[in-house]
Amino acid sequence: MRQLHYFPGNANLAPHMLLEEIGLPYELLLVDRDNNAHRSAAYRQLNPNGLIPVLIDGDLVLYESAAICLHLADCHPEAALAPVVGTQARAHFYKWLIHLTNTVQPEMITYFYPERMADDGAAIAQVKAHAEARLAQMFDLIEDALASGGPYLLGAQYSAVDPYLFMLARWSRMMARPARGRPHLGRYLDMLAQRPAIARAFAGEGIAAPYC
């Protein structure tokens, strides 16, 4: 039995959307962040970092959202959520997933937790402002990529990088320039929001539309 340990709207969203897209049976297990359940000894046995999500897939215990997404895509090629290994399309798939998880997502963490980078109030505010400015540049880059290609990040093929971007774009919704404020990104996010699997994942986490 598969189990996805989650907290509504956290980094579990991308794997959750993929589970729904593939149509796999699974159980959602709430990790109550409000009561620090992610820091408990029991949860740290699953993920010693104390971060969400964790996927249990038979004997496999897997954390890191991007790793979970790759695992699901690779184990279920019939869902066509990643291009064939060795192709140029697969190389671009790696490029986008690594860009999202290694460049955009860490900047999001800086934006949401600026106190990890500074001690006094003025410095914390400055860290947050700089992170938001850098994120705006990153979403501009993605906007340009969609403008010259699309409708998905890989062009014609919907893949695991699309729900990953959807998740990160949602996190920007309170910024001065949220991801959806750009014309191509806005249309892209509206298109993805219409996918039944994405709607089911949000409903499963108790999140009502609009999602971004």
- Identify the pLDDT of residue 1: 82
- Identify the pLDDT of residue 201: 98
- Identify the pLDDT of residue 150: 84
**What tens digit of pLDDT does each residue of 149-204 get?**
989 999 999 999 999 999 999 999 999 999 999 999 999 999 999 999 999 999 99
Omega before 163 cis (within 30°)?
no
Is the overall model pTM greater than 0.85, yes or no? yes
- Identify the pLDDT of residue 131: 98
Domains in the chain, please, with CATH? 2-79 (3.40.30.10), 88-195 (1.20.1050.10)
Q: With beta carbons less than 8 A apart as the criterion, state whether 56 and 15 touch.
A: no
The count of residues in the chain is: 212
Question: For all residues of the chain together, what is the average pLDDT?
Answer: 97
**Which amino acid would we find at residue 19?**
L
Give residue 19's pLDDT band: very low, low, confident or very high (50, 70, 90).
very high
**Which amino acid would we find at residue 117?**
M
- Identify the pLDDT of residue 135: 98
Dump the DSSP string for the chain.
Answer: -EEEEE-TTSTTHHHHHHHHHHT--EEEEE--GGGTGGGSHHHHHH-TT--S-EEEETTEEEESHHHHHHHHHHH-GGG--SPPTTSHHHHHHHHHHHHIIIIIHHHHHHHH-GGGT-SSHHHHHHHHHHHHHHHHHHHHHHHHHHHHS-SBTTBS---THHHHHHHHHHHTTTSSS-GGGSHHHHHHHHHHHTSHHHHHHHHHTT-PSP--
Give residue 36's pLDDT band: very low, low, confident or very high (50, 70, 90).
confident
**What tens digit of pLDDT does each residue of 104-137 get?**
999 999 999 999 999 999 999 999 999 999 999 9
Distance separating the N- and C-terminal Cα atoms of the chain: 31
Instruction: Compute the average pLDDT of residues 54-68.
Output: 98
